[in-house]
Structure formats: structure tokens, C-alpha cells
Amino acid sequence: MKRLLSVLVAVGFLSVVGTAAAQSPTLSGGATLGPDGVITLVSNTGDAVAGNDSSSATFTLPAGTTFAQLATLGVEFNVTDDGCAAGSPRITIHLASGKNVFVYLGAAADVNSCPLNQWISWPNLIGNADNGRYDTSQVQAGTQVTTYAAALALINGLPAGEQIVSSVSLDVDAGYAFDDKEQTVLLRKLVVNGLLFTAKKPKKQNPAQLCRAQQQADPAGFKSHYGTNKNKANAFGKCVSRMAKAVEAGAAMKVHQQTVKSLKAKKAAKAKAAAKAKGKKKGR
């Protein structure tokens, strides 16, 4: 038993080692961080603003990191407007020499095409064998369509100083390729070795908790608002099933706040009417 326990403890420690610490990449161009923690990257070449022609989210790597030392390169993104084009979105591996290695993010069959309005996940592009996933043409002409293995062999053959990676970015810059001159990509995860950005998942509301708050706003009104049987005794259960549906639809807070407001308003109106009736009685 003691031995089993120490094994479990060791496993527990192992799982902690290698866990990347959450941090935010540096945003530039038209990139913005939303209240939901998701980064929006736009390329708008159709307006008068130059600052939003391209967008990047960039992780600076620990000094001296080499291309061969990149063990994890993952991304979760969603192209909402109007598609993938001209190598955008892409991951750029910035070498300290000033040259770039590009990693394209589309489908295996065509690394430049991707579906619209759905989250696309690449847990790790290091080792990816799709032909054309990597582009090392800035390092050596004629290698625009290549693989990770070939990119690694090429860069490992360079002088040591030219194997250093200074930063890694996700880039969006192909607005010009679309009719409306605008491209939008959402980013909710970017991981490069120990550097990790993840948008926080919104906390799910508890339907029963919301119903208790509504009930407190006006117990009698709550009964008549939700109750469907003879003595309205099923009001709480009806509320919980209504709010559970709202939570699933992502509309729970809206429905909850509207219901509380309406319950309070009805309660106040009732109290006012009762006071008026009382006053009339007294006046007689």
C-alpha cells in the first residue's frame, strides 16, 4: 500500500512538470483581446486606417531557443470572415537572423483552405508531415512547399546563430484577398513549448441558484410566473428546466435578469395598488 502511494505521488508530480504557465501573447496591429478572453485578429485593407491592415499575437521565446528545441506548437482558431487565403492565418517562426519560417494552418489536402465559423485545433504542428505545411523559402529559395522534417534538417545545417528562434506569432494579413477587403480570425489557444495562452471558458450558471434568486424577488409572483398546476406547486421545477435551457443556449443571465426585473415590477405594482385600495377604504 505504501509503495502504491509513493508511485501515485510520483505520477502526480510528473503530471505537474511540463505544464505550461498561462500568459498573454503581445498583440499588434488590429488585434484585440475580448471580454471573453478570445483574441480577435483582423486584416482590414479597405478602410483608411493603416494600423489594422494586419494583426499578430506574438510569444517571445526564452533567449537562445533553437528551432530544434521547439517541441510544442499548437493553436486553436476560428476563421469567421471570409476564409483562409494567401497563407493567412499562419504561424510565423521568427528566426533571430531576421528570416521567417511559415507554418500554414489549413487542411492537410490544401494548407491554404479552411472551413468558416468553426474552431480548428492543431494540438501540435511540430513533427507534422503534411507536404506544404512548412515554408522555408526565406531560408532557402525553392523550399516554399516543405514539411517539418525537411525544415528541421535545413535549419540544423545552418550555423548555430542562425538556428535561434526569437519569437513565434499567429498572423492575419490577407484582407486584400476578399471582396470586402477584410479578414477576421479568432484565437483562443496558442502554445509554444512552455508558453501558453488559453481564453478562459465562461463559467456555467447554476439553474437552481438562479431560480432561488428569482423566487426571493417575489415568492408569490414567482409561483404564478412559472407554476402550471392547480396550486402552482411545480413553479420551482418549471423554473429550473426553463433556466437549464437558457444556460445551454448561453442566454441564462439575460433571461434571469429580465425575469427578476419583471417580478420586482409586478410586486411593486401590486403593492401600489393595494396601498391605493387601502387609502380609498380609509377615505370612506
Contact positions vs Ca ion (CB under 5 A):
44, 47, 49, 52-53, 81-82, 180, 182
Residue closer to Ca ion (CB basis): 110 or 180: 180
By beta carbon distance, the residue nearest Ca ion is 182
Question: How many CB atoms lie under 10 A from the CB of residue 12?
Answer: 9
d(CA 91, CA 136): 12
Collapsing DSSP to helix, strand or coil, 128 comes out as coil
| 15 half-sphere exposure, CB direction, 13 A CA radius | 5
- Does residue 121 contact residue 76 with C-beta atoms inside 8 Å? yes
- Smallest separation, CB 178 to Ca ion (Å): 5
- Minimum Å gap between C-beta 85 and Ca ion is 11
Q: Which is nearer to Ca ion, 44 or 65 (CB)?
A: 44
- Strand 21-22 and strand 195-198: pairing? parallel
Range 237-248 burial, b when 16+ CB lie within 10 A, else e: ebbbebbbebbe
- Our CB check for Ca ion shows the closer of 27 and 96 to be 27
Rounded to a whole number of angstroms, the minimum distance from the CB of residue 52 to Ca ion is 5
Considering the complex, state which of residue 172 and residue 246 has its C-beta at the smaller distance from Ca ion: 172
Place of cell 531557443: 65
Residue whose CB is less far from Ca ion, 18 or 51:
51
Minimum Å distance from CB 44 to Ca ion? 4
Q: Residue 78 Cβ, how far from Ca ion at the closest point, in Å?
A: 14
Cα 47 from Cα 126, distance rounded (Å): 37
